[in-house]
Amino acid sequence: MKITAFAGGVGGAKLAHGLAQHLSPEELTIIVNTGDDFEHLGLTICPDLDTVCYTLAGLANPETGWGRVNETWNTISNIEKLGGPNWFRLGDQDFATHLERTRRLKEGKKLSEITREFCNAWGIQHAILPMSDSAVRTIVDTDEGELPFQEYFVHRHCEPRVKGFRFDGVNSAEPVIGALEAIESSDAVIFCPSNPWVSIDPILSIPQMRQVLENKKIVAVSPIIGGKTVKGPAAKMYSELGIEPSAFAVAEHYRNVLTGFVLDTTDANLEMNVQNLTIKTLLTDTLMNNLTDRARLANDVLNFVRSN
């Protein structure tokens, strides 16, 4: 069975990692959101891409889910002493990724090419593709005006009230080379449990992406459990946009593309509502606290895809 997974940050990376335990490199392609990439300290930083790569390489910090394990913080703390910007916490090992990526981008290499080179260096077998090689930047419209995503997310701790989103550059962005082919040849596309608004929607907003998804088997795993997000601001965003945050709200969000939906057993009461959207459902334990959980959830999702 061939699968293409769409992923954002921590939650998405965990399921992608689980899928990689069951599927060979030929069977799995992971397409990652680059909408929250940004330029900081002169470096091009790709938080979701790095989280997915670090997670698959076994280099991720198991406590935070992002950044590197056994990390040190000597560079950022010295930037801080010099009075430089310290709101985006970058570790010393992590800095290497951004420095070297930025250097290669300036040499004229494509982000996808650099990502492939990094994956080789980190011993990652599965294909991890940035959604596009052209820059797409998520802009959050808030009650304080428009904010670049990381400004909203990290610098302002998601405090401004959300009014909407736009993905700067998405209309002229092409899917990364290999993405359309991977999706076309896949038996199903899985939306990992990532933020619908700012992790999966940017990928779906790339013009050619929607077309290739038509008539595909598409299964999403809810990032919302019991009305709350495991991590990140998805639930808060739903509330501020006037929608009650729930797994059902996620299914409804994707209703035009979805064929199947995976909810946590906690949300059994919402299953029928999702089915009423003519979306098939799987009820299972979706919380991923450890490596075993990731592999188990991935297995459940793959069985659900197979049987539907």
| Residues making contact with its own copies (CB under 8 A) | 41-43, 71-72, 74-79, 81-85, 91-93, 95-97, 99-100, 102-103, 106, 117-118, 121-122
Is the Cβ–Cβ distance between 91 and 68 less than 8 Å? yes
Question: Shortest approach of its own copies to residue 103 CB, angstroms?
Answer: 5
Q: Given the complex with its own copies, which of 79 and 257 has the nearer CB atom? A: 79
Q: Find, among 14, 4, 67, 8, the residue nearest to 286 by Cα.
A: 14
Q: Given the complex with its own copies, which of 75 and 299 has the nearer CB atom? A: 75
Q: Given the complex with its own copies, which of 74 and 275 has the nearer CB atom? A: 74
Question: Shortest approach of its own copies to residue 91 CB, angstroms?
Answer: 8
Question: Shortest approach of its own copies to residue 283 CB, angstroms?
Answer: 42
Question: Shortest approach of its own copies to residue 68 CB, angstroms?
Answer: 8
Rounded distance, CA 174 to CA 278, Å? 31
Q: Which residue do the tokens 């290669």 mark? A: 104
Q: Given the complex with its own copies, which of 74 and 292 has the nearer CB atom? A: 74
Helix and strand tally (H, E) in the chain? 13, 14
Rounded distance, CA 300 to CA 308, Å? 12
Question: Shortest approach of its own copies to residue 28 CB, angstroms?
Answer: 23
77 vs 40, 50, 59, CA distance in Å?
16, 21, 22
Q: Given the complex with its own copies, which of 43 and 274 has the nearer CB atom? A: 43
Is the Cβ–Cβ distance between 115 and 122 less than 8 Å? no
Q: Given the complex with its own copies, which of 41 and 135 has the nearer CB atom? A: 41
Q: Given the complex with its own copies, which of 130 and 160 has the nearer CB atom? A: 130
Q: Find, among 105, 102, 125, the residue nearest to 53 by Cα.
A: 125
Is the Cβ–Cβ distance between 53 and 128 less than 8 Å? yes
Q: Look at phi and psi of residue 156 and say left if phi exceeds 0, alpha if psi is from -120 to 50, else beta.
A: alpha
Rounded distance, CA 247 to CA 270, Å? 7
Helix or strand run (H / E) with residue 305: helix 291-307
Q: Where are the beta strands (DSSP E) in 204-254?
A: 218-221, 224-225, 228-229
Question: Shortest approach of its own copies to residue 151 CB, angstroms?
Answer: 16
Q: Given the complex with its own copies, which of 115 and 186 has the nearer CB atom? A: 115
* Encoded tokens for 1: 């069975």
Question: Shortest approach of its own copies to residue 14 CB, angstroms?
Answer: 23
* Encoded tokens for 240: 């501020």
Question: Shortest approach of its own copies to residue 112 CB, angstroms?
Answer: 16
